[in-house]
């Protein structure tokens, strides 16, 4: 008797799809189907149904994937800067917003990509300029009638304005006469306000215009008007009272000129009204960035012979000063090298731009002709090489000579200092 067995043909089990789901029937046998769906925020790429096929070698048809959806680039409110968590603007990605300097955020501070490919909070955010401009009026302003009459065509200094978001806010005349009007002797008030590009307005400021009659003095060819206030002088060209410039002051109403500070003093701002506003200038032999105290002393090799300077003057080539605080070019001198006793008490001979050390009787050591700064680094290197071959007492003598010579001429640059310190460590260790 012949018995036949039938084998059931099946496909391998499918893995669970990332960011999606599947429902399969008939236990993966040949001809069974699996249906695919994607989670919210993802879209299916490929067919939503796969089939177990091919009886000769059962396998599944192409399996779809779930891809994250993306939103288009968002439109941000004006005057904002945004930072997004995903440059591709994928599902659930967030773009945070902040306002530019001078603006305040109103409403939501972020937008999020949604499953329908739209952004949340669209139109719910704005950046508003809630800081108005500022305006400044100079008042009073003194004007003078023309000779022989009690009127004059007036002009005056307009206000100044500033704003956090507008580099050039508008100055708007809101009250009173306009420039060019003919005014009688007396007092007039004019008002202004500032308006920025967003329409924010400042408070009004006012200017008091005071028109005075000229009066004839003993000099019949000149007229002098009512005095300018303290801190101001009469500008003979414009016939206006202008502030005294920095460096001078005016503490009385009479007179048309400003007063100078005492010698060695100055004012730092315009419109100074008293001698007490004068501050001390940096004296000769010192300097500062502001020209006034607190001052720094001129370093070695430099001098300053004037008041109120921002730098010191350098000595001519080949010359230096004996100390800091030098106040004259005469302090710049050529110094004898042996003056510094560079040979540790032994014989020193000065030669042009250098010196020679010679050991006294009973002493021995390296006799070196030391040149100035252009070869100083070479000699320190040489000392570094030979000192390890000397007895410790002679090494100390040689090292002391080099250090004292370099210090006297103020040539301890970073490189020379490092080498000398290395030699000192060698001596201390007794190598």
The answer to whether residue 217 sits within a structural domain is no
Determine whether 411 is exposed, middle or buried from the number of CB atoms within 10 Å of its CB (0-12, 13-18, 19+): middle
Q: What is the extent of the structural domain holding 232?
A: 227-277
The CATH number of the domain where 304 resides is what?
A: 2.10.50
Q: Which of 330, 294, 325, 331 is nearest to 312 (CA)?
A: 325
What pLDDT score was predicted for residue 376?
42
The answer to whether residue 161 sits within a structural domain is no
What pLDDT score was predicted for residue 337?
63
Residue 366 pLDDT class (50, 70, 90 cuts): low
301 with 356, same domain: the answer is: no
343 with 417, same domain: the answer is: yes
Q: pLDDT by residue (tens digit) across 159-205?
A: 999 988 888 999 999 999 999 999 988 899 999 999 998 888 999 99
395 with 342, same domain: the answer is: yes
What pLDDT score was predicted for residue 412?
39
The answer to whether residue 326 sits within a structural domain is yes
The answer to whether residue 311 sits within a structural domain is yes
What pLDDT score was predicted for residue 323?
86
DSSP class of residue 201 equals B
Residue 408 has pLDDT above 60, yes or no: no
102 with 117, same domain: the answer is: yes
352 with 290, same domain: the answer is: no
The CATH number of the domain where 37 resides is what?
A: 2.10.70
100 with 122, same domain: the answer is: yes
Q: pLDDT by residue (tens digit) across 228-240?
A: 778 888 777 776 7
User: 391-400 long-range contacts, Cβ below 8 Å, gap at least 24?
Assistant: 392/427, 392/430, 394/364, 394/365, 395/426, 395/427, 396/427, 397/344, 397/365, 398/365, 398/366, 399/423, 399/424, 399/427, 400/344
The answer to whether residue 154 sits within a structural domain is no
Q: Which residue has the higher pLDDT, 379 or 234?
A: 234
341 with 401, same domain: the answer is: yes
The answer to whether residue 396 sits within a structural domain is yes
267 with 323, same domain: the answer is: no
Residue 390 pLDDT class (50, 70, 90 cuts): very low
Residue 227 has pLDDT above 90, yes or no: no
Average pLDDT, the chain: 80
The answer to whether residue 50 sits within a structural domain is yes
Residue 375 pLDDT class (50, 70, 90 cuts): very low
362 with 304, same domain: the answer is: no
Q: pLDDT by residue (tens digit) across 17-47?
A: 999 999 998 888 999 999 999 999 999 999 9
Q: pLDDT by residue (tens digit) across 272-294?
A: 989 999 999 999 999 998 899 89
The answer to whether residue 49 sits within a structural domain is yes
Distance CA 193, CA 338 (A): 75
Q: Give me the number of domains the chain comprises.
A: 5
Which stretch of 252-256, 323-327, 334-338, 406-410 has the lowest confidence by average pLDDT?
A: 406-410
DSSP class of residue 420 equals H
373 with 324, same domain: the answer is: no
């Amino acid at each position: 008797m012949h018995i036949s067995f039938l084998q059931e043909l099946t496909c391998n089990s499918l893995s669970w799809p990332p960011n999606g789901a599947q429902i399969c029937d008939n236990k993966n046998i040949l001809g069974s189907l699996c249906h695919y769906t994607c989670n919210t925020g993802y879209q299916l790429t490929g067919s939503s149904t796969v089939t177990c096929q091919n009886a000769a070698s059962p396998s599944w048809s192409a399996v779809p994937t779930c891809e994250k959806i993306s939103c288009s680039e968002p439109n941000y409110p004006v005057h904002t800067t945004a930072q997004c968590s995903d440059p591709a603007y994928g599902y659930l990605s967030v773009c945070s917003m902040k306002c530019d300097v001078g603006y305040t955020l109103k409403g939501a501070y972020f937008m999020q990509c949604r499953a329908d490919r739209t952004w949340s909070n669209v139109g719910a955010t704005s950046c508003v300029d809630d800081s108005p401009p500022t305006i400044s009026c100079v008042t009073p302003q003194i004007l003078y009638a023309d000779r022989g009459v009690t009127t004059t065509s007036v002009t005056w200094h307009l206000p100044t304005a500033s704003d956090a978001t507008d580099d050039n806010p508008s100055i708007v005349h809101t009250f009173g006469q306009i420039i060019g009007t003919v005014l009688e002797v007396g007092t007039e008030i004019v008002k202004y306000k500032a308006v920025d590009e967003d329409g924010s307005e400042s408070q009004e400021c006012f200017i008091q215009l005071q028109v005075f009659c000229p009066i004839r003095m003993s000099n019949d060819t000149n007229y002098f008007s009512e005095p300018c206030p303290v801190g101001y002088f009469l500008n003979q060209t414009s016939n206006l009272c202008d502030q005294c410039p920095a460096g001078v002051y005016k503490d009385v109403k009479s007179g048309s000129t400003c007063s100078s500070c005492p010698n060695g003093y100055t004012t730092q701002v315009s419109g100074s009204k008293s001698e007490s506003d004068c501050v001390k200038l940096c004296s000769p032999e010192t300097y500062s960035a502001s020209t006034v105290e607190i001052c720094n002393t001129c370093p070695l090799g430099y001098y300053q012979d004037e008041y109120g300077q921002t730098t010191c003057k350098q000595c001519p080539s080949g010359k230096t000063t004996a100390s800091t605080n030098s106040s004259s070019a005469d302090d710049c001198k050529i110094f004898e090298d042996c003056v510094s006793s560079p040979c540790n008490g032994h014989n020193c001979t000065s030669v042009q731009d250098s010196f020679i050390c010679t050991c006294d009787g009973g002493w021995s050591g390296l006799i070196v002709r030391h040149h100035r700064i252009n070869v100083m680094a070479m000699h320190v290197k040489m000392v570094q090489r030979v000192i390890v071959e000397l007895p410790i007492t002679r090494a100390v003598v040689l090292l002391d000579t080099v250090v004292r010579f370099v210090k006297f001429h103020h040539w301890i640059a970073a490189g020379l200092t490092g080498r000398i310190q290395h030699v000192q460590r060698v001596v201390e260790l007794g190598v």
